[in-house]
Chain A
Amino acid sequence: MISRNSLQIRDANSLPLSNAELQQYRLQLDRRVPTVPPGERLMRKRGQSLEFREYDAYQPGDDVRFIDWRLSLSRGAPWEMWKKTFDTEEAARIVVSVDQSATLDAASGKSTIAAWLAEAVSRVALLGRDHVVLHRMWTRGEDEFASGTDSAWRGRLSELRGPAAVAGLRDQFGDSADAGSRVGDSTTGDLSSVVRFLKPGVIWLIVSDFLAPPECLQQLAASVSAARQRRAVVAVIELDSWPWERARIAERPVRVAGPGIGLDEDRLRFDVQNDLLERITQKIDANRDTFFRRVPLGSLRSRWAWPVGGTRSSQLDLKTLFRDWFTSDSVVSDLLIPGGTQ
């Protein structure tokens, strides 16, 4: 399902990278798809498509369907015939799945970082005449109240094509704080809609904090395995704010609130000690391994870890952090190569 519902993005949270900076990158396809069989590999070359390229003299044996009869009658000798030539279908496609779980809405600003990352990658792709499919992962579908059951949860998709779509790109992202539209803890996200886009050679970039319930992560791992079987390229960028949150609550009495906690949950009062923090760390790692143990990604996995300094979200310079992560991250450098638009 292609949804045109857009999110509003605030000017204050605009992308810290300019178009000029992003135009230095383009999607790197050749290195990532070495085993694509002939006929399935996407290349930038002349061919047959719906996009007009130029006129050329007709040679015997050419397809007579491409003769431009009006031009042939008005120009040159009567025996000279002119034909139309078209570009070959050579655009690449990248699917960007951004985790929309409520855990990204916490004070750490993970949702902003995720939106910036998706927008930056999308801009690079669209400026390079590639196609972009934005996938808001683990959010409610339009029929969310149709059945009232967990099966009503599904993702949302937006497909963007060509450089002209860059202007409307920002409408596709935002730091929506609508926690009610997030995936619940006991919900299994339905990723079947995005799998159909994962054809051979398609790049699938997953941006998440991997704090979703194990059922969701298992579903995601299954989808990733299916995509890799279809020879899609899967890359994961993990947003990890736990070190920063751990530093906030260390050695002080706190009342914990956040996603997955009921409004009437009044017993989460802790005199935080190290042993408690260690147990929580182990729980988080175990939850994360639900995905990564099933899907080893190698170099196509990176973790953006929040710095420990600064216990308030207002003290986090998210723009600086994003610029540092984006320019130095290994996954980003694997997907995007310097070279600019052709």
Chain B
Amino acid sequence: MSLPLLAFSSLAAMTALTVHRMRRARFTPVELSTARFFLNEPPSESQRQWVLCPPQWRDRSYLLQMATLALLLLAVAVEGLTTPRADGLRVEIFVDISGSMDTQQDGQRRFEMAHERLRETLDTIERISAEPGEPPEVRLATFDQDVVPRGRATSDLATLRKLTARDFAPRLIGTNLAALQRYLNRRPTSEDDWSPTHVVVISDQPVPRWAVESQDRPVQWLDVARAVDSHGITRIEPKADALTGRLNNVRVHLRAWGTPPANTSLQVTGGGEQESAAVRWDDDGYARVNLEDLAIFHSQQASVLNLELSGTDAWPHDNVAAVQLPDRSELTVRWQVTNVSPPELAGWKLQGPAEGDAVSTAGLPSLVVTDCAGLASVPDHVPVLLVGSPAGPRDLVQSEIEAAEKLEWFVCSVSDDQPFLQDVNLDALEREPFMRPEFVADLLPAFHRAGFHHGNLRTEDVRVELLAFPAESETSTASSRMALGRINSKDRHGRLVWMPLLPRLSREPGAESPESVDANEAWQVVFLNSVSWLLNRGDTQLFELTDQTHSQPNYDAAPFRLPLHPGEGDTSHAAKHQTMFDPSLRVTAEQPGRWWQLPLLLSLIVLTVERCLVLSRGKG
């Protein structure tokens, strides 16, 4: 019982006793032998049964009764404050099942150590449940990137004891403690209104500050990690040509925690070939390997390079990776030739509505390059490259595109002279993971499929979104129009410009640096690459490493890459071990006491005196 409730109860009881003592029956009961002669007499018209008299403070019995009640409540309050109870104890245990829990330390995995901590925690809870009171309830949950409850809360600890260390296996790579914090701070829903009073976290991550400073409920953080030596690949960095997208180099970043291993090498295999690169660790435990220094990287035979770091360590999952190289059959464009229009360089004879002639398509895929005005004359099911729309995609989508269901692809630019490209840093043409939140939330479900790529250009006041659709994409018409409409409706400045993604492009050997090209020519390169993509000589994936669900290289995963979780495999942090489930978590007083017996004894004495007084008065 809480203290406010006790205080309220005491006040209510004393008030009730006072009112009871002040109350007097208005009609005095009288026993008469002639009572039955009153039966048919009209009773009193007054309905008032009781009258309140002034309190009789001289009534010793009343005062002693009040004192007895006050002492009794005091005893209950003191007992509730000083006696440990298991009433209402609800413990939720979170076990970290991220990939790092697979780390070997002291001859066993961290999962096994976590299982020992779990068992010790259950021992402590079971010791509490042996005391009188409501048995504690325990719920088990696991977490990595997210929190996954395992079953409902139960008082049957034997069921939880049946769990073994093998029942815990890594699900994802990476530990998201923010997700755990959000889960603990969530508002209970009607479906799951079970809220823990105590939280126990078993993890190999250092205790975060929010867990230490938790005021609502104590968080017992059990860190099972110890510093052990480990090393692995932390990042793979592509180095591509800023303008053409040509992959020049792949830089592999390595990190060693603890003592760096000696004679470490990076084994690179691919295309039936194998090559080894020595790893030289610096004093801080960092190392880098440039694949461009290896002959196998330049070999046209290898499309996928498998990387493996030699030596065994505590967490072996970051010792392997894979790099998928782009298709080497690249389009060659003499983009610096200004007298030749880019379509012609690509093998096309541009023949738009201005000339009025049909495009020569001998030996080439059918493609019509036109503007909005020429859409109507394009035959059905013929791919269209739309250029020169001055109105932008919004008008395009809402007018011409909706009217022309046959339109399959489109490129929009603000004008033919491309003023937005004048200040563009073409280095930004490097492909980047497209992780804008609004795009992920709104468009990824629609466009997240193989062959769909993103990139962007950024300037101070102009943003150019590059969006490409695969030729075989089923979302090429309706879904793409919907997506464009949504994106433009969200762009408050209306400055989105859409064009096919720069797929791959290489310059002729010895050509000038792309940084020297002027903006107009750069746009032409972009245009040509768009044409190249439309010819279904599309992009190839630069590389991929691992994703959230596969610690091993996965060639079927989505093309966008995820960085290794920082700290995953980092076994160098000093573990801060805490004692096991502290019994003081369940009490509000440090030392359970017996002081409640004193007011109880006094109340009994006062009550005895009061009863003796009443009896003696009755006899008198």
Spell out A's residues near B (CB within 8 Å): 103-108, 110, 185, 209, 211, 241-242, 245, 248-249, 252-261, 265, 267-271, 276, 279-280, 283-284, 287
Which of A110, A255, A279 is the one whose CB lies under 8 Å from B29?
A255
Cβ B33 vs Cβ A270 within 8 A: no
Residues 533-572 of B contacting A (Cβ, < 8 Å): none
Contact with A along B30-59 (1 / 0, CB 8 A): 111111111101011010000000000000
Q: Give the distance to chain B from A90, nearest Cβ to Cβ, in Å.
A: 41
* Closest Cβ–Cβ distance, residue B39 to chain A (whole Å): 7
Asked if B185 lies at the interface with its beta carbon under 8 angstroms from chain A, I say no
- Which residue of chain B has its CB nearest to the CB of A111? B33
- Interchain CB contact under 8 A, B34 and A269: no
Known contacts A269-B43, A270-B41, A271-B46; A258/B27 CB under 8 A: no
Across-interface contacts of A252 in B (CB, < 8 A): 28
Are A256 and B28 in contact, with the CB atoms below 8 A?
Answer: no
A259 touches B37 (CB 8 A): no
B29 touches A257 (CB 8 A): yes
Establish whether residues B44 and A270, one from each chain, have CB atoms under 8 Å apart when the complex forms.
yes
B448 CB-CB contact with A under 8 Å: no
- Indicate which residue in A211, A268, A271, A284 contacts B39 across the interface (CB closer than 8 Å): A268
B26 touches A (CB below 8 Å): yes
In the assembled complex, how far is the CB of residue A291 from the closest CB belonging to chain B, in whole angstroms? 16
The closest CB in chain B to the CB of A107 belongs to B31
A110 touches which one: B25, B33, B35 (CB < 8 A)?
B33
Known: A108-B33, A261-B35. A255 touches B41 (CB 8 A): no
Chain B residues near A257 (CB, 8 Å)? 29-32, 35
Contact of B30 among A104, A105, A249, A276 (CB under 8 A): A249
In the complex, the answer to whether B36 meets A260 with C-beta atoms within 8 Å is yes
Contact check, A254 vs B43: say whether CB atoms are below 8 A apart: no
Q: Are B32 and A258 in contact (CB-based, < 8 A)?
A: yes
Residues of chain A within 8 A (CB-CB) of B28 are 252-255
Pair A103/B46 contact, Cβ less than 8 Å: no
A213 nearest CB neighbor, chain B only? B36
Closest chain-A Cβ to B501's Cβ sits at a distance in Å of 95
The bracket for how many chain B residues form the interface is: 10 to 19
State the CA gap A258–B31 with chains docked (Å): 5
A269 to B26, CA, bound (A): 10
A258 engages B43 (CB within 8 Å)? no
**Chain A residue with minimal CB distance to B45?**
A271
Q: Please name all residues of chain A whose beta carbon is closer than 8 Å to the beta carbon of B31 when the two chains form the complex.
A: 106-107, 257-258
Closest to A249 in B: B30
Contacts of A241 in B (CB 8 A): 33
**Apart from A257-B35, A270-B43, what are 9 other A-B pairs with CB-CB below 8 Å?**
A245-B32, A254-B28, A255-B25, A265-B39, A267-B43, A268-B43, A269-B44, A270-B38, A280-B38
Closest to A262 in B: B39
Given the contacts A261-B39, A269-B44, A271-B44, A254 and B33 also touching, CB distance less than 8 Å = no
Residue of A nearest to B35 (CB): A258
Contacts of A249 in B (CB 8 A): 30, 32
Complex interface: chain A residues within 8 A of B33 (CB): 103-106, 108, 110, 209, 211, 241-242, 245, 258-259
Q: Which residues of B contact A245 (CB under 8 A)?
A: 32-34
Which A residues are in CB contact (< 8 Å) with B43?
A: 267-270
| Residues in B neighbouring A268, C-beta threshold 8 A | 35, 38-39, 41, 43
Contact B37 A269, beta carbon cutoff 8 Å:
no
> In the complex, A107→B25 CA distance in Å?
20
Closest to A108 in B: B33
Which residues of B lie under 8 Å from residue A108 when comparing CB positions? 33
> Are A280 and B29 in contact, with the CB atoms below 8 A?
no
- Distance in angstroms between the alpha carbons of A283 and B31 in the assembled complex: 18
CA distance A260 to B30 in the complex (A): 14
Distance in angstroms between the alpha carbons of A326 and B31 in the assembled complex: 27
Which residues of chain A have C-beta atoms less than 8 A from B46's C-beta? 253, 269, 271
**Complex: A241 Cα to B32 Cα, angstroms:** 9
Are B32 and A269 closer than 8 Å at their CB atoms? no
- In the bound complex, residues from chain A placing their C-beta under 8 Å from that of B32 are 106, 245, 248-249, 256-258
- Assuming the A-B contacts A248-B30, A269-B27, are A256 and B35 also in contact, with contact meaning beta carbons closer than 8 angstroms in the complex? yes
With A261-B39, A284-B37 as known contacts, state yes or no: A256 contacts B30, CB within 8 Å.
Answer: yes
Nearest B residue to A248 by beta-carbon distance?
B30
Report the Cα distance A110→B31, complex, angstroms. 13
Question: Which B-chain residue is minimally distant from A185 (CB atoms)?
Answer: B36
Determine how close the nearest CB of chain B comes to the CB of A250; give it in whole angstroms: 11
Query: In the assembled complex, which residues on chain B have CB atoms less than 8 Å from the CB atom of A276?
Result: 41
The distance from the CB of B596 to the nearest CB of chain A, in whole angstroms, is: 44
B residues less than 8 Å from A104 (CB atoms): 33
**In whole angstroms, what is the CA distance A108 to B35 when docked?**
13
Smallest distance from the beta carbon of B620 to chain A beta carbons, Å?
12
Instruction: Enumerate chain B residues within 8 angstroms of A256, measured Cβ to Cβ.
Output: 30, 32, 35, 38
In whole angstroms, how far apart are the Cα atoms of A261 and B35 in the complex? 7
- B562 → chain A, closest Cβ, in Å? 83
Q: Which residue of B lies closest to A245 (CB)?
A: B32
Q: List 18 A-B contacts (CB under 8 A).
A: A110-B33, A248-B32, A254-B29, A255-B27, A255-B29, A257-B30, A257-B32, A257-B35, A261-B39, A268-B39, A269-B43, A269-B44, A269-B46, A271-B44, A279-B41, A280-B37, A280-B38, A284-B34
Asked if B26 and A253 make an inter-chain contact with CB atoms under 8 angstroms apart, the answer reads yes
Chain A residues positioned under 8 Å from B38 (CB to CB): 256, 268, 270, 280
Assembly CA distance A262 to B518 (angstroms): 116
Q: Which residues of A contact B29 (CB under 8 A)?
A: 254-255, 257
Interface residue ranges of B354-399 to A (CB < 8 Å): none
| Cα-based distance from A106 to B32 in the complex (angstroms) | 6
Q: Report the separation of the CA atoms of residues A255 and B31 in the bound assembly, to the nearest whole angstrom.
A: 8
